[in-house]
Amino acid sequence: MTPADSSKPQESRGREAATRARKESVLKAALECFVEKGIEHTTIHQIQARANCSIGSLYHHFGSKEGIAEELFLEGVQQQNAALLREIRSAGNAEEGVHAVVGAYCDWSTGNRQLASYLHSRDIDFSGQARSRLREIHQLYIREVFIWFAPFVERGEMRALPLETYVPLISGPIQEYIRRWLSGHHPGSPEEVKALFAEAAWSAVKA
């Protein structure tokens, strides 16, 4: 490959930057392929072609096809979590907090459709390492959310429920709606029903 390749925008601006750019171009190419054709039906060669890089380069950076799928997933989850946390923290009370969770999930998903679709994939064959990393990321996120909501439960503004029921009660409906919407199963836009789902969520957990 010639050095003047398009995937190296910041020519010789340090190797790290170039590496990061390359990795991102691969992740971008992979995301497009995965969403279009599914992970299994995407070949390494297709990713390679779209990202303008060689097999060697691909394996050097990611180790395997699953490595790409994993990194993409973890990055996506973190991005989504960050977006949700930001919104939650700007809420002033429990009800606003619940609305923030539902609303932010909805907004992020409509604003990042490809990544959102990808995050709905199950069956990504995570390595043990990636699996535990994912758990860790999830725990960290959940912990933050619960710390934010805990005071309202203590003050009796929210119901005290088994911990593992809050996420399904609050996020379950919007998640299911968005999943169906993303896969083109039905018409109607999330924007129109956002409030409805937020209210349902709130009434499920309010005291």
Binding region for DNA (CB under 7 A): 1, 3, 5, 8, 12, 14-16, 18-19, 22, 42-45, 53-57, 59-61, 63-66
CA distance 130 to 78: 13
Identify which of residues 137 and 204 has a Cβ nearer to its own copies in the complex.
204
Q: How many residues make up the chain in this entry?
A: 207
Q: Least Å distance between CB 167 and DNA?
A: 32
What does the buried/exposed string (b/e) look like for 78-114 if buried means 16 or more CB atoms within 10 Å of the residue's CB?
Answer: eebbebbbebbeebeebbbbbbbbbbbbbbbbbebee
Q: 5 is in the binding site of which of DNA, its own copies, none (Cβ under 5 to 8 A by kind)?
A: DNA
Binding mask 161-180 for its own copies (x = CB under 8 A): xxxxx-xxx-xxxxxxx--x
38 in contact with its own copies (CB under 8 A): yes
Contact criterion met (CB below 8 Å) for 166 and 205: yes
Q: 12 is in the binding site of which of its own copies, DNA, none (Cβ under 5 to 8 A by kind)?
A: DNA
Q: 56 is in the binding site of which of its own copies, DNA, none (Cβ under 5 to 8 A by kind)?
A: DNA
Contact criterion met (CB below 8 Å) for 169 and 204: yes
CA distance 134 to 73: 9
16 in contact with its own copies (CB under 8 A): no
The residue behind tokens 């619940």 is 98
Q: Least Å distance between CB 2 and DNA?
A: 7
Contact criterion met (CB below 8 Å) for 74 and 133: yes
The one among 26, 39, 47, 91 contacting its own copies by CB under 8 A: 39
CA distance 194 to 199: 9
Q: 129 is in the binding site of which of DNA, its own copies, none (Cβ under 5 to 8 A by kind)?
A: none
Strand, helix or coil for residue 157: coil
Amino acid at 175: Q
Interface residue list for its own copies (CB under 8 A):
38-41, 120-123, 125, 161-165, 167-169, 171-177, 180-181, 185-188, 192-193, 196-197, 200, 203-204
